[in-house]
Amino acid sequence: MKILPYKNLFIGITDTLNNIFFEGKYADKEVERTLKSNKLWGARDRAFIAETVYDLVRWKRLVEGGMARPLSPETIWEFVGTWFALDPDQKLPSWEEFARINHKEILKRHHESAKNIAVAESYPDWMFEVCLDELGKNRWIEEAQAMNSAAPTVLRVNTLKTDRKTLQKLLKERSIKTKLLSLYQDAVELEEKTNIFRTDEFQNGFFEVQDAGSQMIAPYLRVEPGMRVVDACAGAGGKTLHLASLMKNKGQIIAMDIHEWKLKELKRRASRNDVQNVQTRLIEAKTIKKMANTADRLLIDAPCSGMGVLRRNPDAKWKLQPAFLDEIRKTQAMILNDYAKVVKVGGLIVYATCSILPSENEKQVQKFIENNPNYKLISDKTYYPSETGYDGFYMSLIERIA
Ligand SMILES: C[S@@+](CC[C@H](N)C(=O)[O-])C[C@H]1O[C@@H](n2cnc3c(N)ncnc32)[C@H](O)[C@@H]1O
Give 265's pLDDT tier (boundaries 50, 70, 90).
very high
- 354 catalytic, yes or no? yes
Q: How far is the CA of 352 from the centre of ligand 1 (A)?
A: 11
Give 400's pLDDT tier (boundaries 50, 70, 90).
very high
Indicate the DSSP class of residue 151.
Answer: P
Q: Which CATH number fits domain 7-122: 3.40.50.1360, 1.10.940.10, 3.30.479.30, 1.20.1260.10?
A: 1.10.940.10
Given the CA of residue 242, which atom of ligand 1 is nearest to it? 8
CA distance 205 to 272: 5
- What mean pLDDT comes out for the span 339-358? 98
CA distance 61 to 6: 26
Q: What is the pLDDT of residue 195?
A: 86
pLDDT per position as a tens digit, 201-235: 999 999 999 999 999 999 999 999 999 999 999 99
CA distance 20 to 179: 32
Most informative mutation of 233, 263, 305, 395 for ligand 1 (most atoms within 8 A of CB): 233
pLDDT per position as a tens digit, 317-329: 999 999 999 999 9
Asked if residue 28 belongs to a known ligand binding site, the reply is: no
- What mean pLDDT comes out for the span 180-199? 94
Q: Which residues of the chain form CATH 3.40.50.150?
A: 214-400
- What mean pLDDT comes out for the span 50-56? 97
% pLDDT > 70, the chain: 100
Residue 93, SS3 per DSSP: coil
pLDDT per position as a tens digit, 2-14: 999 999 999 999 9
Q: CA 336, 341, 343: angle at the middle one, nearest 5?
A: 105
**Sign (positive or negative) of CA dihedral 96, 102, 106, 107:** positive
Which CATH superfamily, name and number, covers 154-209? Sun protein; domain 3 (3.30.70.1170)
Higher pLDDT, 195 or 41: 41
Q: Which residues of the chain form CATH 3.30.70.1170?
A: 154-209
pLDDT per position as a tens digit, 67-121: 978 999 999 999 999 999 999 999 999 999 999 899 999 999 999 999 999 999 9
29 pocket-lining for ligand 1 (C-beta < 6 Å): no
Query: Within 10 Å of residue 347's Cβ, how many Cβ atoms?
Result: 22
Strand order in the sheet with 154-157: 178-180, 187-190, 154-157, 207-209
- What mean pLDDT comes out for the span 284-291? 95
Q: What is the pLDDT of residue 100?
A: 87
Q: How far is the CA of 316 from the centre of ligand 1 (A)?
A: 17
Report the 3 state secondary structure along 262-331: HHHHHHHHHHHCCCCCEEEEECCCCHHHHCCCCEEEEEEECCCCCCCCCCCCCCHHHHCCHHHHHHHHHH
Looking at the predicted structure, is the pLDDT value of residue 139 above 90?
yes
Residue 75 burial (CB < 10 Å; 0-12/13-18/19+)?
middle
What residue owns the CA closest to ligand 1's atom 13?
A: 233
Output the CATH code of domain 214-400: 3.40.50.150
Q: What is the pLDDT of residue 143?
A: 98
Q: What is the pLDDT of residue 1?
A: 85
Q: Which residues of the chain form CATH 1.10.940.10?
A: 7-122
Rg, the chain, Cα only: 23
239 pocket-lining for ligand 1 (C-beta < 6 Å): yes
CA distance 213 to 146: 14
Q: How far is the CA of 266 from the centre of ligand 1 (A)?
A: 12
Q: What is the pLDDT of residue 68?
A: 78
CA distance 365 to 371: 10
**Which of 397, 395, 364 is CA-nearest to residue 379?**
397
The whole-chain average pLDDT of the chain stands at 97
Looking at the predicted structure, is the pLDDT value of residue 294 above 90?
yes
Q: Cβ contacts of residue 87 below 8 Å, gap of 6+?
A: none
- What mean pLDDT comes out for the span 40-56? 95
Pairing of strands 343-353, 393-400: antiparallel
What residue owns the CA closest to ligand 1's atom 3?
A: 235
With 0.80 as the threshold, say if the pTM is over it: yes
Looking at the predicted structure, is the pLDDT value of residue 194 above 90?
no
% pLDDT > 90, the chain: 97
Helix (H) or strand (E) holding 375: strand 375-383
**Which of 138, 295, 317, 163 is CA-nearest to residue 228?**
295
